[in-house]
Structure 1
């Protein structure tokens, strides 16, 4: 039986590559310029 998607994600996040990706995402999210870009992107996508 195939592994459910949530279990696959959990296993990835606990792996060394998953932890590395999480830390990279946190660094990007901490940058004020990236936050502003994300805000404007989501503002355009909302109806």
Structure 2
């Protein structure tokens, strides 16, 4: 499983995805949305 993630991260598509996540996490509004989403997931688990 971890090997698949590593391979994806090294691929061009993975690099694009990582860059999009970095940009989104720099935006305070997006960060708040992500926090809310993660807290919902944790409550379900």
TM-score norm. by structure 2 comes to: 0.73
Give unmatched runs, 5+ long, in structure 1: none
In the alignment, structure 2 segments of 5+ residues that lack a partner are: none
Higher helix share: 2
Instruction: Give 4+ residue runs of structure 1 displaced > 3 Å after superposition.
Output: 44-47
Alignment length (residue pairs): 42
TM-score by length of 1: 0.70
**RMSD of aligned C-alpha atoms?**
1.6
